[in-house]
Chain A
Amino acid sequence: MHNDLNMRGSLTIFRREFAAYFNSPIAYIFIIAFLVLNAGLFMTGFFLSGAADLRGFFGNLPFFLIFFIPAVSMRLWAEDKRLGTFELLMTLPMRTADVMLGKYLAALAFYLVALAGTLTLPIMVGALGNPDGGAIFSSYLGAALLGALYLGIGTFTSGLMRDQISAVILGIMACFLLFVLGIPAVAATIDGWVPGLGSLLQNYLGLSSHYEMMLRGVVGAADLAYFLGLTAVFLVLNALWLEGRKF
């Protein structure tokens, strides 16, 4: 009965937060900007190289989302702190983790809506050529997991900050770090300073290698574990931080 109520609590928060995205014009601006930019990148690739594939689109996503995702998640906690509703949420009969999950999933759903808007691209590609359906599917899975991870980071940084601007800047920096650590040249440079450290960071924290496997159509358990595990870490940190604030 207890868990049941908590699920319902998360669902209530989810509904409010998801609606809040679409209550503001910013949501539509975000979605349109996301689609236009991504479709634009795809088209440019298509016309320049004549290649009717989605590599350009998916390949750019880890960089592009560094800016898009923290902007989506920045309001999650910072907005409630500004409005004073944070105090309401923290005195509702549900755990901090339940509130957090509702908020996080609302942001994820919003991102998935934007991502779903790009499904016109594979349809176009399908009409023009003979794409690898499996790779497209796994690429979308990779894009969803990538967004989920960035959103976990963004939710965490939103919880640290009182205002949205600091939340988005900190979020961008944290996502950028994961992105950069995954770049082989960066790993090699760090290895040059401290032998082994760069590769270690690249393997455990850097996202490129995990993400790129999925673009190639390979969904490995280690890659899934990387995305889901790291996302969970940030969400747990988020809940712990918000609980710890009481003291």
Chain B
Amino acid sequence: MMEKAKEKSEQNHKPKGTDEHVIVIKGLKKSFGEKHVLKDINLEVKRSENVVILGRSGTGKSVTIQCIVGLLKPDSGSLKVFGDEVADMSEKELKQLRIKIGFLFQSGALYDSMTIRENLEFPLTRILKIKEQAEIDKRVEAALDSVGLLDSIDKLPSDLSGGMRKRAGLARTIVVNPEIILYDEPTTGLDPITSREISELILSIQKKYNTTSIIITHDMECARLASDRVVVMDDGEYIAEGTFDSLHKSKNKIVAAFFKDIL
């Protein structure tokens, strides 16, 4: 108990430089029943860094980022965001944290009883509690414009294609200008041209707002464009880490498999 309190006070005095680690994960474990999904995850993400996670389907990439926002509780290990342990947070603290984190769901997870406009207004009015309609409209339109969906603003999610829904989900994530964005497969199911636009959008958000991001993807083009650093995950552990170009030369079989089509 004493140690913990001391640790906390030390962190509060630490100056917030650019080298500060926003997300620190140590020895994270998570199982569902008998199934050990995360075995030993260690990851540190610096402020305004884009980290790409590569890994085969079902290795626990989505589970990892769901632990970061407290949707899933890890079994053991430490997971700190902005220096505070997520598992120890009260409901209120967790809510405060979640306001700072944007989360793009793999499925988009649009509210299907609301139009696209209402989907984007929801976090603005309910969470940021913005009152002026002009301000709301401006932000909603800007976010939709950046994903190229301004025309569909008054449509229902069911009237959109899969790719459009994904982009609308992305617009809803960025409309609140979060400090951290967790992208779960932002370009899957999109055509190469839109994929590239989304990857460039991710990069430009990082540059413009200094956001810290974790990007889960299978799209190597997206990884190349948007990443400062790439980690490769297999069977609940991280097996390789480095810049895109350094991993490109890796001899590891699984890593090489991801990079084999890249010239």
| Binding between chains A and B | no
B interface residues with partner A (beta carbon < 8 Å): none
A interface residues with partner B (beta carbon < 8 Å): none
